[in-house]
Copies of this chain bind each other. A is one copy, B any other.
């Protein structure tokens, strides 16, 4: 289209790793890699081939027109100038709103278009084509996508998004290394480079850090000033203001998120529930009962029943899975954690304590891994409507595990021992260990991994070349370096979540720690604020310099984590009250008899049920929703083309 947008499209954005060609190739025509490259060129892509140390790399770029046609095939919905989302068509491209950086497609849309083009390369002839790769033979069946075949035969080792060197360096300067900017970040550029999900994370992190300064200042004041006779009032006041702070923060985050959605031209309203009610998004995510939808209208009365059965069965499955997770956490993990906490208290010798902790850390590694795997399996049986829903479901399940792991020891100290000095010690330890060390680890581990891989690759090359020709090793190409960098992946199940899981988990655990024990250790907010200020830059550095470019995700909310933060606030109201009881009741005079305790526990459980149950029964029956969806899409299909023509014409 215009020069600016067109120019940017020429950056290479997708990389393929294929084996290096042996020199003595006879028939170039049937070589896998040659065919692949040929097909790419036929599809309108710009191909660049780089021979690396041990592998060959194919880099792809796409002219805007190629992308646009793929986007039209994908039936992508895009925001137009009049504010409605319409199906993209190449002829009406002027009608669509451009990204803040001036390009027509966002990175996520470009990525999906690439995928469409690449997966669209199939054997169009009616016969099996036999391809060769070094020594192997590959039978390319008719209508079979070439890439999938080559991947399953191990010829294409990996497909990954490539960093855009100019933009990356610019972001490094304007974002990762710009410490003076404090919590300000160039969100639009992050969004256009990493996609909306990651930009949302950084915006959340920035806002969280900015807001954190208030309680941090309050906490510091509490530490430094002596309130004399009013001292006994200080903690309750702190507690109340911290809770109000947290509630307001989350509410204002929701507002901020909807501002982001408006800025990035996304149409759906933000909601607390895991489900966005806007028509198209919902429709797109309404995948599972798609066949049902088609038959709708034929047998209306039956349809309603089928939908209702489907809906309740889905709920039942999710309820069963949640029950399994909760029960196994309570029956398996809780005793284990309590045993560790108790032993740690009971053992006197420092050496034994060290050994115990080492053994414990080793065990929980396995625990979380197993838990993650089980959760991924459970989630697969659920009838979740889209990848983002599935990811959210996984996050809820796994967070339970981490919650127990991180806090049960602290609860043990706080409530059973009423020993506040150890509690504070443990809190400081945890904050320093989990935050300072983790920040370092986050960057150093990927770097070490990368260095090790690079070292191995060079050594292998040396070994191979010893036979043929002894010469200097050429310096490593940029694409090969990127290939050796680790991917941005989650510590649990890679299928559903990427590295954002770990980053959000860190934030959520920190939030829980400082909120739930706010009264025991008000200074924690200062630690957290300092940590988060560095966290912004280290996370940015990690994404830009240490890892492969992540695969973009289309969602632009923080998903399940919002509910987790809300849950942590409610938890922290209860725990802080208990802490206050322990603090003010040093002589143990406020005895709670078992009867009273039972009734109080019952009350809290019921309140939890009241506010939790509402999520169990959806407010709109599935068949009502399906009908609404069907209507909306029908109307849009009818007027979409007419509307598009009239906008782009005018």
Residues in chain A within 8 A of chain B (CB atoms): 82-84, 236, 239-240, 243-244, 247-248, 250-252, 254-255, 258-259, 261-262, 267, 269-272, 277, 569-570, 573-574, 577, 580-581, 584-585, 589-590, 592-593, 595-596, 599-600, 602-603, 606-607, 609-611, 613-614, 616-621, 624, 627-628, 630-632, 634-635, 638-639, 642-643, 646
Q: Is the CB of B614 within 8 A of A251?
A: yes
Q: Is the CB of A613 within 8 A of B247?
A: yes
Closest Cβ–Cβ distance, residue A367 to chain B (whole Å): 32
Cα–Cα distance between A608 and B240 once the two chains are bound (Å):
12
Q: Which one of B267, B580, B603, B627 contacts A577 once the chains associate, using CB atoms below 8 Å?
A: B603
Q: Is the CB of A269 within 8 A of B277?
A: yes
Known: A620-B269, A639-B639, A643-B635. A248 touches B82 (CB 8 A): no
Q: Is the CB of A621 within 8 A of B258?
A: yes
Which residue of chain B is the closest to A598 with respect to CB atoms? B236
Known: A262-B627, A581-B599. A619 touches B82 (CB 8 A): no
Q: Which residues of B contact A614 (CB under 8 A)?
A: 247, 250-251, 272
Q: Is the CB of A596 within 8 A of B581?
A: yes
Closest Cβ–Cβ distance, residue A525 to chain B (whole Å): 18
Q: Is the CB of B83 within 8 A of A617?
A: no
Which residue of chain B is the closest to A618 with respect to CB atoms? B255
Closest Cβ–Cβ distance, residue A55 to chain B (whole Å): 48
Closest Cβ–Cβ distance, residue A642 to chain B (whole Å): 6
Cα–Cα distance between A270 and B614 once the two chains are bound (Å):
14
Q: Is the CB of B83 within 8 A of A630?
A: yes
Q: Is the CB of B596 within 8 A of A628?
A: no
Q: Which residues of B contact A609 (CB under 8 A)?
A: 243-244, 247
Q: Is the CB of B258 within 8 A of A631?
A: no
Known: A585-B595, A620-B255. A638 touches B646 (CB 8 A): yes
Q: Which residues of B contact A585 (CB under 8 A)?
A: 595-596
Main secondary structure of the interface of A (DSSP, over half): helix
Cα–Cα distance between A93 and B560 once the two chains are bound (Å):
46
Which residue of chain B is the closest to A277 with respect to CB atoms? B269
Q: Which one of B250, B592, B643 contacts A639 once the chains associate, using CB atoms below 8 Å?
A: B643
Which residue of chain B is the closest to A616 with respect to CB atoms? B251
Q: Which one of B243, B259, B277, B613 contacts A244 once the chains associate, using CB atoms below 8 Å?
A: B613
Cα–Cα distance between A239 and B602 once the two chains are bound (Å):
10
Q: Is the CB of B243 within 8 A of A610?
A: yes
Q: Given A577-B599, A584-B595, A590-B596, list of 7 further CB < 8 A pairs?
A: A84-B635, A240-B606, A247-B609, A255-B621, A569-B610, A589-B593, A639-B642
Cα–Cα distance between A577 and B603 once the two chains are bound (Å):
6
Closest Cβ–Cβ distance, residue A497 to chain B (whole Å): 25
Q: Which residues of B contact A634 (CB under 8 A)?
A: 82-84
Q: Is the CB of B602 within 8 A of A596?
A: no
Cα–Cα distance between A137 and B584 once the two chains are bound (Å):
82
Closest Cβ–Cβ distance, residue A520 to chain B (whole Å): 15
Closest Cβ–Cβ distance, residue A131 to chain B (whole Å): 49
Known: A247-B610, A609-B243. A602 touches B236 (CB 8 A): yes
Q: Is the CB of A82 within 8 A of B258?
A: no
27 A-B pairs within 8 Å (CB atoms) are namely: A82-B631, A83-B627, A83-B628, A83-B632, A239-B602, A240-B602, A240-B606, A243-B609, A248-B617, A251-B614, A254-B619, A255-B619, A255-B620, A255-B621, A258-B619, A259-B621, A262-B624, A262-B627, A270-B619, A573-B603, A581-B596, A584-B599, A585-B595, A590-B595, A592-B596, A635-B643, A639-B642
Closest Cβ–Cβ distance, residue A638 to chain B (whole Å): 6
Known: A617-B252, A620-B269. A84 touches B577 (CB 8 A): no
Q: Which one of B577, B589, B632, B643 contacts A600 once the chains associate, using CB atoms below 8 Å?
A: B577
Which residue of chain B is the closest to A79 with respect to CB atoms? B631
Closest Cβ–Cβ distance, residue A59 to chain B (whole Å): 39
Q: Which residues of B contact A595 (CB under 8 A)?
A: 581, 584-585, 590
Q: Which residues of B contact A252 (CB under 8 A)?
A: 617
Cα–Cα distance between A177 and B628 once the two chains are bound (Å):
37
Q: Which residues of B contact A574 (CB under 8 A)?
A: 603
Q: Which residues of B contact A248 (CB under 8 A)?
A: 613, 617
Known: A624-B258, A646-B638. A573 touches B243 (CB 8 A): no
Q: Which residues of B contact A272 (CB under 8 A)?
A: 614, 619
Which residue of chain B is the closest to A232 with respect to CB atoms? B595
Q: Which residues of B contact A244 (CB under 8 A)?
A: 609, 613
Which residue of chain B is the closest to A643 with respect to CB atoms? B639
Q: Which one of B236, B259, B599 contacts A580 once the chains associate, using CB atoms below 8 Å?
A: B599
Closest Cβ–Cβ distance, residue A303 to chain B (whole Å): 13
Q: Which residues of B contact A619 (CB under 8 A)?
A: 251, 254-255, 258, 269-272
Q: Is the CB of B82 within 8 A of A635?
A: yes
Known: A603-B573, A634-B82. A628 touches B271 (CB 8 A): no
Cα–Cα distance between A267 and B625 once the two chains are bound (Å):
10
Listed residue (A593, A595, A596, A616) with the most chain B CB atoms within 10 angstroms of its CB: A596
Which residue of chain B is the closest to A278 with respect to CB atoms? B277
Closest Cβ–Cβ distance, residue A246 to chain B (whole Å): 9
Which residue of chain B is the closest to A236 with respect to CB atoms? B602
Known: A251-B619, A619-B258. A635 touches B243 (CB 8 A): no
Which residue of chain B is the closest to A593 with respect to CB atoms? B590
Q: Which residues of B contact A258 (CB under 8 A)?
A: 619-621, 624
Closest 5 CB pairs of A and B: A83-B631, A84-B635, A639-B639, A251-B617, A254-B619
Known: A255-B620, A643-B635. A602 touches B628 (CB 8 A): no
Listed residue (A252, A258, A267, A585) with the most chain B CB atoms within 10 angstroms of its CB: A258
